[in-house]
Amino acid sequence: MSTLVIVESPAKAKTIEKYLSEVDPSGNFIVRASVGHVRDLPKSNKKAIDIEGGFVPHYEVVPGKQKVISELSSLAAKADGVLLATDPDREGEAIAWHIAQELGLKSPERIVFYEITPEAIAEALKSPRKIDDNLRYAQEARRVLDRLVGYDLSGLVWKKVRYGLSAGRVQSPALRILMEREREIRAFVPETFWVITAQTKTKAKTDLTLTCSEEPRDKKLVEKILDAVKQDGLTVSSVTEAEAKRAARPPFTTSTLQQSASSRLGFSPSRTMQIAQRLYEAGHITYMRTDSLNLSAGARGAMLGLIEKKWGKEYVQPRVFATKSKNAQEAHEAIRPTHVDKLAAGTTPEQKKLYELIWRRTVASQMADAKIMRTKVEAHTKDTSIPAFAATGSRVIFDGWLAADVAARGEDVELPKVSGGETLAVKDISSEEKQTTPPPRYTEAGLIKELEKRGIGRPSTYASIMRTLEARGYVTKEGRSLKPTDTGDVVSTFLETYFPTYISDTFTAEMEDELDQIASGERQYEKTLKDFYGPFQKEVKKKDKEAGKITDLGPAPAEFMCPICGSTMVYKLSRGGKFMSCARFPKCTGARTAEGLVLSNEPSKPIGKHPESGEDIYVLSGRFGPYVQLGEQKKGSKLKPKRASIPKDKNLEEVTVADAVKYLSLPRELGVHPESGKMISASVGRFGPYIVHDADFRSLKTDSVYDITLERALEILKEPKKKRGFARKKKE
């Protein structure tokens, strides 16, 4: 007898096969991987979903997966039974269902485990079940819903803003949150204030720095405070000490792990999930997509034993944390080490760092409160109208859970001993002028926290939201901060203006709740989608008629006048980014960047002449970015002057005649192919440098498009051509 066990990941398959050999040494289990999804919706929405038929999705085999399916089918036909052991969430349930459909399994059995250990796998084998249709329908509903919203909204954005942009059900509310903060920053008016600091000495001749408790906005008040302290000095009015407790934090959920890994380790959410996936597949941590704070009784018992042994009985504090989310459903437990006695795990430095972070947070969650002694010294002048000066300090008197999570401790700040009524010798008093600052932009960790707080998205979606916003060009990273781009601004403004309901917090969160209700069997798949899509489609059609083409982003600064007619300028959005155009366009074609570079076909001053033709060379820019142009357009001629793109990393002010000649040398004819007799050319296109022969395009990864030889081009053309779509899908 033999049993085929199917999982998603080859790494996971390897670990499970190893443990199954321990559970059953006779070797009756064969473990294979589907390598992720085997089916997906086709790109065309017309083929993907039968809306009138009840929102029935028409799935297609993922390109390149037919070989995997064939192998699994062959093994399943020979096996006495098949167990589908995909991940324990909706996505895993859907993958299991798709595998069963493609393999034609009549009575597929499903097993789930939340950690890859011999014990968990042995327990799962005792209780196989059927595929949970409710979970599968919930995943399908999310997939169909996101496709319908994205397809219709993106189509309208293409039409009204710019081709190639996109809008999504969850991505758009996230972008809106970023833009709301950006508008706060733009509208912020800084105020001047002063920080007043006094350097003093106590009776015991120790230094004590005190800061004025008020930060005056009025310079006269600043002078009054400075004069009062210089004249009267400072006298200690009170010394207070109070013991405070710092409670241990709960173990990690997906959201808090991504936030902590971002702030402490500098990992992006996507990177964090990739590393956590490897740790899970290797059996080091429990399932990493979860919004549960629960820890199993066995795991907590093991932690309490370790804590008592490592730090002492006084550090032990059993805790059970209540999960905040009313619909926590992705896993039964928080993220924790599978074996708490394993202090380190992972094969790469990144895996080891993330494992240590998880280990420390989990163990600390079962430890006693830390005790902190907080001290505050206040001092006054004789003039009671002058604000108090104060100094605060704190020191750990019992580290508790901080013994495990040392990075959370911070530094002790101890104040010198003083007593009430003591006169302090003022050595120096100064004021520093400062300005209030706008609220900070969100980091990825901050945005994830905000999305979770508002009920937008679920554990499995946070990383993809961050990735999509950046990939679409809606945000850029400045350090760790997410700054909306001009494109992101325009798209968000358009959606906020015409579809405020569908990108609101309330609607998005309620939709997530409805998907959760499908998973629990409380709602029906078809009715949920029908209730949403009918009104939504009507709204899209209505706004299509109401909304005009969005190009103008508002007036440009007054100092920027049209380089041709002298009229006012307006900001516009094109594929090349944000630029300024004459308000009289198309009657006047004048345009320029914010730096003042003329962008129209009306030439500016040439940078020089071409050494061979003697024609003027201009540096210009247009819809698709900056370029060099040879000569001018002749009146009455439809032939445009020769142009060539300028590399993105090139400073436009530094473009020389030699550079321009180099750019204009493309496309280069390298020579005739010896077999076909057709020309081989090298050039730069939308996706970068390439060579082409008889409609066979090959990207240049390391070769220079300006220097590549015919011989080298022939070598590249002999190489097997990679299938772009399959390679990308496999990587994902």
So which residues are the catalytic ones? 287
Q: Which residue has the tokens 């169909």?
A: 144
State how far the alpha carbon of 359 is from the alpha carbons of 119, 261, 295, 354, in Å.
Answer: 20, 13, 13, 9
The whole-angstrom separation of Cα 166 and Cα 152 is 10
The whole-angstrom separation of Cα 232 and Cα 426 is 10
The whole-angstrom separation of Cα 214 and Cα 388 is 8
* DSSP states along 341-399: T-----SSHHHHHHHHHHHHHHHHTTBPPEEEEEEEEEEE-S-TTSPPEEEEEEEEEE-
The whole-angstrom separation of Cα 176 and Cα 474 is 11
HEC-encoded secondary structure of 668-693: EEEEECCCCCCEEEEEEECCEEEEEE
User: Which residues in 546-624 belong to E strands, given as ranges?
Assistant: 552-555, 569-574, 577-582, 591-592, 608-609, 616-622
Q: Which two tokens stand for residue 78?
A: 């020979």
Segment (H or E) for 208: strand 207-212
Q: Which amino acid is at 721?
A: K
Q: Which two tokens stand for residue 671?
A: 């020579």
CA proximity to 391, closest of 369, 367, 415: 415
The whole-angstrom separation of Cα 590 and Cα 662 is 28
The whole-angstrom separation of Cα 208 and Cα 203 is 11
Q: Quick check: 266 and 337 in contact, CB under 8 A?
A: no
Q: Which two tokens stand for residue 621?
A: 């820019």
The whole-angstrom separation of Cα 240 and Cα 179 is 44
Long-range contacts, 632-636 (Cβ 8 Å, 24+): 632/603, 633/601
CA proximity to 393, closest of 239, 248, 215, 246: 239
Q: Which two tokens stand for residue 510?
A: 């309620």
Q: Where are the alpha helices (DSSP H) in 594-680?
A: 657-664
